[in-house]
A and B are shown apart, each in its own frame.
Chain A
């Protein structure tokens, strides 16, 4: 299967860092997931082949790490921490607020495929609690209002992208009409 050039360059650089091939597995899985969205059967077979592992061994590893998933997730993975430091500063309210707003529960994905909500364990933002991560970005000292703004920004970003795709499509349409004409 095909990964991006960036992935390949990173993979090629990483493997020789270790005396055993499989050592590169965990970070490689995360990078592959970032690219594909989840760890599909195809990704698993490909990485197993590259690192001289069985698919079973790769699955054993994937299922151990909480960030790795074999199921598709939304474009924005909203990870709300409710662990102790966040708990005492309203982390659960943030989670409940997101759940109501998005209409999904823990590990649920919105029907438009934009958001996946996840209650997560401590993300290392205790002194800036409550906190959440959207994909890899930290959002700290959250209030429900601040959370709304974060979600709105995500929406706007998604819409902008959609617009861009549409305009490319309509440009393509125009071009094809012209060439036909």
Chain B
């Protein structure tokens, strides 16, 4: 449904089969489908893990942890069943890539889950898809059924004597469930409240069994690594940042879309060449480089490479690949408010700093944006955010605090321009109030 774009700089790995009808299992097979898992069946578990480790594949959900390492934490022996979980609860604002993977290449995800299962010794996997993506659930359920029908799933897969089951599971609207332990709670039929760690999911996860949980894009990359080899994959990107990344370019760019670019691709080029630059003769004000949780970069800070380590060095995060571009007409205060409104709405409420901090910040930002701000609000917003940072029960608090700190620090002037009853310089009078009355 969502339209596809392309650019010559793209390196098509995960998107290779997009638009080629690969939801059809036979078509998928023609396009090298299920070859990777068959290869993996011939390897021992450690070899699979090493291959993934050497590929430099890092988690595409946002944290960027080495996938091979994560798999290696799962104990070899376990009294309880082990599980592989695909996190398809994509809901980080600015991110819309897993949606395309499920829509165009569901079998790649299935294959990735299977390979993960072989690597850690699991015999079943679950693919969790957010509730809003109903049409993708239908696609995925059909893909799973087709794979069973072919004998690729179930008993004695590919005649290997091994069994593997995959089930679909659906969410019902909760950003927090994208956090791995909250997702397990949700899958167990509970409220999506994260779990205390340790123990980590690799040791005690779903229903108490060792569990490996990876983002859909991560898992969809795995079959390509198995076929193309770790070395090939690693070389696509800079050291320790193997492969490609699905960048979801959105906001004020001429050609928004999901582009698969090599890791380490220049952000500047991404905006101005791949994305076609800022339309309507406007200029760039800021970029949110990796989904709403990542600190924004100013127009002066975009001369960086989009890989985990380079973006971290620039004081932000590569995150989930959601690149949101803001032109000079966008109000940073409004943007900060909308971001905080999101976290306030999505906080699970479990811990004090996240629950109360996001609510307080949202209220202050609403008041501030509509002209009721006072000077000490600016410091207080920074104070609250800094006191949430690193002290919440799960990363959602950090995700709310980090961008806020960046907005206040980098655009303090713009905050000050809202002071003392002045209307928002970027908005028509009364619009903010109207929105306030209308929104949740």
Contacts and interface: CB of A to CB of B under 8 A. Distances in A.
Any A–B CB pair closer than 8 Å: yes
Interface of A: 17-27, 29-30, 51, 53, 60-61, 64-68, 82-85, 87-89, 92, 95-96, 99, 105-107, 118-119, 121-129, 133, 136-138, 140
A125 B171 CA distance: 17
Interface in B266-282: none
Given A24-B189, A107-B440, A122-B91, A85 B251 contact: yes
A122 B256 CA distance: 16
B140 to A, nearest CB: 12
Contacts of A51: 189
A136 B135 contact: yes
Given A95-B439, A122-B292, 10 more contacts: A17-B169, A27-B171, A53-B189, A61-B191, A88-B251, A106-B438, A124-B91, A128-B96, A136-B134, A136-B135
A83 B342 contact: yes
Contacts of B348: 64
Nearest to B3: A128
Nearest to B135: A136
A26 B172 CA distance: 7
B257 A127 contact: yes
Given A67-B131, A83-B93, A121-B342, A126 B173 contact: no
A49 to B, nearest CB: 14
Interface stretch (B22-30, B59-67, B333-341, B388-396): B333-341
A46 B440 CA distance: 31
Interface string B243-264: 0000011111000111000000
Contacts of A121: 91, 93, 175, 342, 345-346
Interface in B95-121: 95-96, 98-99
B189 A20 contact: yes
B402 to A, nearest CB: 14
User: Closest 3 interchain pairs by CB?
Assistant: A67-B173, A25-B189, A22-B189
Nearest to B343: A121
Contacts of B438: 95-96, 99, 105-106, 119
A61 B250 CA distance: 33
A83 B337 CA distance: 10
Contact of B292 (A26, A84, A89, A140): A84
The CB with the most chain B CB atoms within 10 A, among A17, A61, A84, is that of A84
A89 B282 CA distance: 14
Contacts of B434: 96
Contacts of A19: 81, 207
B288 interface: yes
Interface string B323-336: 01111001000110
B284 interface: no
B174 A84 contact: no
Contacts of A127: 2, 5, 96, 248-250, 256-258
Contacts of A92: 431, 435
A136 B138 CA distance: 12
B32 interface: no
Nearest to B98: A124
A144 B187 CA distance: 38
A155 to B, nearest CB: 22
Contacts of B440: 106-107, 118-119
A23 B338 contact: no
Contacts of B187: 23, 26
A85 B172 contact: no
Nearest to A136: B134
Contacts of B174: 64-66
B330 A122 contact: no
Contacts of A20: 188-189, 207
A138 to B, nearest CB: 6
Nearest to B288: A84
Given A83-B292, A122-B342, A127-B258, A64 B191 contact: yes
A143 B66 CA distance: 42
Contacts of A126: 93-96, 248, 250, 256, 322, 324
A129 to B, nearest CB: 6
B404 to A, nearest CB: 13
Nearest to A105: B438
Interface string B18-47: 000000000000000000000000000000
Contacts of A136: 132, 134-135
B117 to A, nearest CB: 15
